[in-house]
Structure 1
Amino acid sequence: MLEHFPFYLALIVLIVLLIMLGNRIKVAYPILLVVAGLLISFVPGVPALKIDPELIFIIFLPPLLYEAAWAISWKELWRWRRVISSFAFVVVFLTAMSVAFVANHFIPGFSLALGFLLGGIVSPPDAVSAGAIVKFVKVPRRISSILEGESLLNDASSLIILRFALVAVGTGQFIWHDAALSFVWMIIGGAGIGLLVGFVFMKMHQRLPTDVNMDIILTLVAPYVMYMAAEEVHGSGVLAVVSGGLFLSAQRHRFLSVSSRLRGENVWQSFVFLLNGLVFMLIGLDLPEIMAGLRKEGIGFYEASGYGLLITGVLMIGRMLAAFGAVVVTKIASRFITVADKNPGMKAPLLLGWTGMRGVVSLAAALSVPAVLDDGSPFPQRNLILFITFVVILVTLVLQGLTLPGIIKKLKLPDYRDHLPEEEMEGCFRAALAREALNHIQEHYPGELKNSPVLRLLADQWRIDVETEGAVHYSGPVRRICREVLERQRRWLLDKNRREQRLDEETVRKFLHYIDMEEEKLKAT
């Protein structure tokens, strides 16, 4: 391990350089990292990066899912719940079933159980890849919300399929009523344990005398505890992390201090940045080991590549059909129930259908397949499953990832008017927050406003809506009043976000971040 340490350091530096290059040439960094890992893997003397299959989920998935749950807007998740749930559950199951039947029919030695195993591995699209691509091209907020929500939930459904398929492969049988009960428990038990652990951690933040560093450490530990606790009782660890993350995200202003929120955000961004970089590089670096396994099983490279392209085609066609099928279902459902958009058109489904890049979860799921069965015999077709997964990830990332920005520009998606324009919201927020600050001072501290030059200066700045540079020394009472004002602004924003459906929560969070920064500056004055 120690002799390879310089290589690992160089790998991290290379990841940073490649992401910088991706930002410069406007190419999503997952594409560059996978290709770079593939090229590096052919360099003689490069040490093999190996991770215990039993640990791959614990190392990567909990923090990545937890960070995604904190970043997503619950309001947007609920608003598009029907589309998101259909893609995250129904489409994933249909995709896995399609892969299972195609693999069983065209790939020699593939049983239906192995087909469902492969389908569970490759069915969930990767949010990191889509997010890295669409950041270079402006897309409507509804599209990004659907993609974020789908990616947060489809991992759980695909891994549930994976777990049942592993049992079927290992035992050679599949008992439907047992599977149904296990499925219900995995969902209810996983989500319930996530909420319970999240509540316990919230109380720890509130009751224990923690400081900023302790708060950040607790947030880093929380997703691992949620995941392992749920898996220990055979619930869904993924759903536990997602539900617990969503709960704590919604309550963050109740139990985390301003300093903890600001510094924790920076720590989490760096941590997730490193994990994503490593896992996409790992996809490319793992190819030589997969190829060696194929040679042992007597499967040729071109034959295996053909199977990989076949499964990739099934995934791409299936997602496109599902996207346009959702339009038909929406139009039919609009006759009986209220839907968010009765006429979604054809451009949005085309875009959603083409955003099927696979990545982190598929790799982790493939590597988690055990090398041997419980009886000690080799796991059937494991190396071919790994290779097909690699081909799916590589082809979807390169083909769909490189063409997606051009397709988005070509489609010229309409303004769906789901949210107010960002410039309009920012102007309204600045004026409203300044008004809230002035009202609070005038209602509660008219005497201090009259006698304190500093408060009069602040009032003048609020009147003209100019942000303070923090150069003024605040006395104790003035600092306390300013904190009360900032807290009132924060409450107004949170209430406004709950009441107004058309407000983009991303913009709301930006202003909440501004308020946190202003409160943090008070400590230094």
Structure 2
Amino acid sequence: MKLSFTTGKNILLFLSVEQSIIIVQLSENNISLMENYAVILVIMALMIGVSGLSGKIKIPAPMLLLIVGILIGFIPAMPEVEINPEIIMLLFLPPLLYDAAFNISFQQFKTNLNTISTLAIGLVFMTTAGIAVLAYYLIPGMSWPLAFVLGSILSATDAVAAVGVTKGLGLSHKTITILEGESLINDASALVAYRFAVAAVTGVAFVTWKASLEFFVVLGGGFLVGWIIFQALSFTIRFFRTDAMVVNSLILLMPFVTYLIAEHFKVSGVIAVVVLGLGMSKLSRTRFPDHVKEQSRNFWDVIIFLLNGLIFLLIGLEFPIILKKMPQIQVWTYAGYAIIIVLVTLLIRMARVYLQQFNLQKAFQGKRRISEEALFDSKTSFIITWSGMRGIVSLAIALGLPTISHNGEPFPMRNEIIFLSIAVVLISLLGQGLTLPWIVKKLKL
């Protein structure tokens, strides 16, 4: 039996895009349907139990969920849980991005915007190029376009990982703001780089000026969509601001609507949702009654707890499935490649973060418009470096690779790229995530 998080015969509801209506469809086999529901309930119960256990044994919940997911995935009786990248992008990403943007300090975000934009845009393209060069010379059969596809997939740090792993470590507001701010924005940069890299593989010509123009259109369009929807939502909420149920229902709905509208217009849904979250955060502090804010916080805490836990558990469950698709003779070789890629990305990130620290200090001493609050020391630089983990977005992008090229041929090295992606994600999350609390303690932050 195979359980698939996608549209199909074993899902109760699915959206018919062509007819624009919601269709209810039951499985042809009621027993299979009930088994699928049972597996979903077991996964949910397992996630809640493991999350609770993590607090008792002092291991970060995301790391323990990953380990348990991998172990459970190797059980022969466990049905395969396939992650549909479109479902991940639509169901998980909007609420998680919105919540992270809503809870980030707007003032801190503005103060550290120079560092955030440097890491979220410049570092993403540096990492893409660095991984591409490494992969081209290291991995047999890896062409330049394929190397850039791999680089773009693994170039961005993950917002979910940044929030989940650093939570409760006692890091400064500045450090958390930089990490979360970077991971909120860099997905947009990575997705643009990925789109052009895949186009090059599938036979579409790459034009530098066109790519640069599209990058700014995608980011600017996402900002515009997010701002328009925020204005519309804030106007609507004025009429219902004392009705907590209506307000919270609207707030729950709008991240999904914002993401879909932005993607429909081929602009960044990530940026649109982040802009919406930042705007609503500022609005809620001045316009929302206390009882609305309290109910909203409690409601979102539960939603984010469930989504965060499911994401890390699903990453672990996905690994055995991808492992089966790789020839056994290549597994250890490609695992070695993944370790090297993780080390190189850390070195690139470390160089850029420390350079940013130096540039800020130089600019501040040179009387440029740099606030003293935007400066950070070497310990903070190391924490920012070590906290840059890959996560569910990298995996979803990899799984979304096309199966067929422009000329009708199978997409080259697709299984190898997907395996490398999940291996890098796991090594990054487990290696950096499990050691981060120890490093924070040693540095006395």
In the alignment, which residue of structure 2 is the partner of 1:511? none
In the alignment, which residue of structure 1 is the partner of 2:18? none
In the alignment, which residue of structure 2 is the partner of 1:408? 440
Q: State percent identity of aligned pairs.
A: 38
Are 1:62 and 1:223, in contact at CA under 8 Å, matched by a contact in 2? yes
1:46-195 aligned within 5 A: 46-195=78-227
- Per-residue deviation, 1:139: 2.2
Are 2:242 and 2:292, in contact at CA under 8 Å, matched by a contact in 1? no
Count of aligned pairs? 411
- Per-residue deviation, 1:204: 2.1
Are 2:84 and 2:396, in contact at CA under 8 Å, matched by a contact in 1? no
Superposed CA RMSD in Å reads: 2.1
Find the partner of 1:301 among 315, 318, 331: 331
Q: Distance in 2 between matches of 1:215 and 1:314?
A: 46
Q: Distance in 2 between matches of 1:100 and 1:35?
A: 29
Are 2:241 and 2:288, in contact at CA under 8 Å, matched by a contact in 1? no
Q: Which structure 2 segments of 5+ residues have no match?
A: 1-9, 11-32
In the alignment, which residue of structure 1 is the partner of 2:354? 324
Encode CA deviations 1:464-496: one digit per residue, 9 max, x unaligned. xxxxxxxxxxxxxxxxxxxxxxxxxxxxxxxxx
- Per-residue deviation, 1:74: 0.6
Are 1:202 and 1:255, in contact at CA under 8 Å, matched by a contact in 2? no
Q: Distance in 1 between matches of 2:283 and 2:244?
A: 17
* Local SS of the residue matching 1:337: coil
- Per-residue deviation, 1:339: 2.3
In the alignment, which residue of structure 2 is the partner of 1:502? none
In the alignment, which residue of structure 2 is the partner of 1:37? 69
Find the partner of 1:349 among 381, 397, 400: 381
2:345 is the counterpart of 1:315: yes
* Local SS of the residue matching 2:81: coil
1:357-506 aligned within 5 A: 357-373=389-405, 376-413=408-445
In the alignment, which residue of structure 2 is the partner of 1:340? 371
* Local SS of the residue matching 1:302: helix
Amino acid aligned to 2:83: I
Cα–Cα, structure 1 residues 309 and 215, in superposed 2: closer, same or farther, change >3 Å?
Answer: same
Encode CA deviations 1:88-109: one digit per residue, 9 max, x unaligned. 1111111111011111121122
- Per-residue deviation, 1:255: 5.4
Rg comparison, structure with higher value: 1
Are 2:131 and 2:344, in contact at CA under 8 Å, matched by a contact in 1? yes
Q: Distance in 2 between matches of 1:218 and 1:269?
A: 16
What TM-score, normalized by structure 2, do the two folds share? 0.87
Q: Distance in 1 between matches of 2:436 and 2:345?
A: 16
Are 2:311 and 2:392, in contact at CA under 8 Å, matched by a contact in 1? yes
* Local SS of the residue matching 1:370: coil
Are 2:128 and 2:155, in contact at CA under 8 Å, matched by a contact in 1? yes
Are 1:97 and 1:119, in contact at CA under 8 Å, matched by a contact in 2? yes
In the alignment, which residue of structure 2 is the partner of 1:508? none
Q: Distance in 2 between matches of 1:256 and 1:136?
A: 27
Are 1:95 and 1:119, in contact at CA under 8 Å, matched by a contact in 2? yes
- Per-residue deviation, 1:67: 0.8
Are 1:130 and 1:355, in contact at CA under 8 Å, matched by a contact in 2? yes
* Local SS of the residue matching 2:142: coil
Amino acid aligned to 2:200: A
Encode CA deviations 1:277-324: one digit per residue, 9 max, x unaligned. 1111111111232123223xx861112212211211111111112222
Amino acid aligned to 1:337: R
- Per-residue deviation, 1:374: 5.0
- Per-residue deviation, 1:64: 0.8
Q: Distance in 1 between matches of 2:293 and 2:432?
A: 36
Are 1:15 and 1:278, in contact at CA under 8 Å, matched by a contact in 2? yes
Encode CA deviations 1:414-454: one digit per residue, 9 max, x unaligned. xxxxxxxxxxxxxxxxxxxxxxxxxxxxxxxxxxxxxxxxx
Cα–Cα, structure 1 residues 128 and 57, in superposed 2: closer, same or farther, change >3 Å?
Answer: closer
Amino acid aligned to 1:363: L
Moved more, 4-13 or 372-381: 372-381
Cα–Cα, structure 1 residues 258 and 36, in superposed 2: closer, same or farther, change >3 Å?
Answer: same
* Local SS of the residue matching 1:23: helix
Q: Distance in 1 between matches of 2:315 and 2:407?
A: 29
Q: Which structure 1 segments of 5+ residues have no match?
A: 414-525
Are 2:203 and 2:405, in contact at CA under 8 Å, matched by a contact in 1? no
2:322 is the counterpart of 1:290: yes
Are 1:37 and 1:284, in contact at CA under 8 Å, matched by a contact in 2? yes
